[in-house]
């Protein structure tokens, strides 16, 4: 895996700089692009790393100097070990150490899923803002026992029927028509129009405190990244 990630970074068609820093989690690998000290620090999600996030690095570094942190304990070029418990607090402390060692100030932490949870766990005063994409870390993760059962069966013998059983758990049930046929029932039991679009969703969310941002993502085509290549091994 480490060799695949190194090869993927070596094939990048834009200038990169790589380094490792010493922390209490041993070596943490950083991949940077752009000039001057980084103003954006990207924290990939579970199973991801800089090699898998090169499209993000390319797009962001065209506007701001950017660094991607390979989180320890995840596939990548940082130390593969992680603690068995209290991981988020540990990740937050490690990230604080990385910011101190590199003397990054006024940075924006951009985290995806697990990376967003790490961004929330970091307490460094060097952080100016946090950008959370599909964030984890707000509530404790729970796994439905039925999902565990069908996933285990699929892993043991991935047949077409077992694949269908797994996928059905990731798809919302079809909305049911109301008795008069005039709409569909939402999970709260209220009747909605045939096609509850963004306007209807906004009305339902009225009065609930939140920030809504239009999301943008660079191309997700990471063919050749270590993650995609590893899946083919």
Question: In terms of domains, do 98 and 176 share one?
Answer: no
Mean pLDDT value of segment 55-80? 94
Q: Which residues span the domain enclosing 13?
A: 2-139
Mean pLDDT value of segment 6-31? 95
Question: In terms of domains, do 128 and 22 share one?
Answer: yes
How far is residue 20's CA from residue 30's CA, in Å, rounded to a whole number?
A: 6
What does the mean pLDDT of the chain come to?
A: 79
Three-state SS string across 105-166, please? CCEEEEEECHHHHHHHHCCCCCEEEEEEECCCCCCCCCCCHHHHHHHHHHHHCCCHHHHHHH
Question: In terms of domains, do 122 and 163 share one?
Answer: no
In this prediction, residue 146 has a pLDDT band, given cuts at 50, 70 and 90, of: confident
Residue 199 confidence (pLDDT): 52
Residue 197 confidence (pLDDT): 44
Map tokens 């952080």 to a residue: 127
pLDDT at 133 exceeding the cut of 70 = yes
pLDDT at 188 exceeding the cut of 60 = no
Question: In terms of domains, do 79 and 190 share one?
Answer: no
Asked if residue 33 is part of any domain, the answer here is yes
pLDDT at 214 exceeding the cut of 50 = no
Question: In terms of domains, do 19 and 94 share one?
Answer: yes
Residue 203 confidence (pLDDT): 53
């Amino acid at each position: 895996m480490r060799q695949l990630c190194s090869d993927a970074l070596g094939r990048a068609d834009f200038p990169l700089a790589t380094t490792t820093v010493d922390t209490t989690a041993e070596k943490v690998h950083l991949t940077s692009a752009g000039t001057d000290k980084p103003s954006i620090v990207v924290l990939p999600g579970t199973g991801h790393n800089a090699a898998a996030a090169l499209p993000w690095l390319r797009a962001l570094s065209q506007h701001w100097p950017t660094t991607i942190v390979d989180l320890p304990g995840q596939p990548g070029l940082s130390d593969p070990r992680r603690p068995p418990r209290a991981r988020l607090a540990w990740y937050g402390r490690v990230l604080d150490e990385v910011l101190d060692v590199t003397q990054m100030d006024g940075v924006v932490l951009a985290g995806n899923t697990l990376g967003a949870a790490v961004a929330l766990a970091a307490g460094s005063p060097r952080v100016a803002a946090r950008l959370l994409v599909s964030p984890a870390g707000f509530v404790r993760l729970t796994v439905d026992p039925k999902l565990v059962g069908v996933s285990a069966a699929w892993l043991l013998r991935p047949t077409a029927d077992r694949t269908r059983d797994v996928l059905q758990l990731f798809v919302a049930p079809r909305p049911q028509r109301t008795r008069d046929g005039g709409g569909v029932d939402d999970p709260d039991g209220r009747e909605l129009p045939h096609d509850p679009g963004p306007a209807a969703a906004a009305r339902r969310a009225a009065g609930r405190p939140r920030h809504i941002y239009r999301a943008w993502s660079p191309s997700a085509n990471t063919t050749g990244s270590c993650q995609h290549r590893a899946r083919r091994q």
